[in-house]
Structure 1
């Protein structure tokens, strides 16, 4: 079952999303991802089996700040 991970970022506009796209598309195990640029926390949601560390590394390599958010209780 794919996992959903959320992160607070500074990816704040369409141009930023385009800049990070090739980096996130390169992460093995990412099924789908999206950034809510309307949320003040600029939340990146990633679905798939990719590790948190791999996602963080690629977003940082793209030049953006990223911090994991707590997983909501089920």
Structure 2
């Protein structure tokens, strides 16, 4: 399976929010690297790896955040 880059709009809007979601994304199989741009109006989450869009969305929602795919 080849790595892909997924982009999402979220409500992850501060450093504390990023820390809250970190263990969920770090533990998701297939995630190579991820980051949240809290300066972007969309609170842009980008995830690179082989994890599916649905799996990424599920763990972010499990962490208590809203997420919407942009790609």
Task: Place the TM-score, normalised by the shorter chain, in its bin.
Answer: over 0.9
With normalisation by structure 1, the TM-score equals 0.92
1:46 — aligned with what? 47
Segments of 4+ in structure 1 off by > 4 A?
Answer: none
Distance in 2, Cα, partners of 1:53 & 1:26: 15
Aligned length: 70
> Which ranges of structure 1 fall in alignment gaps of 5 or more residues?
none
**1:13-61 per-position Cα deviation (integer Å, ceiling 9, x unaligned):** 0000000000001110000000000000000000000000100000000
Taking the aligned partners of 2:27 and 2:7, their CA distance within structure 1 comes to: 18
* RMSD (Å), alpha carbons: 0.7
Question: Is it true that 1:33 corresponds to 2:29 in the alignment?
Answer: no
Task: Name the SS of the counterpart of 2:47 in structure 1.
Answer: strand
With normalisation by structure 2, the TM-score equals: 0.96
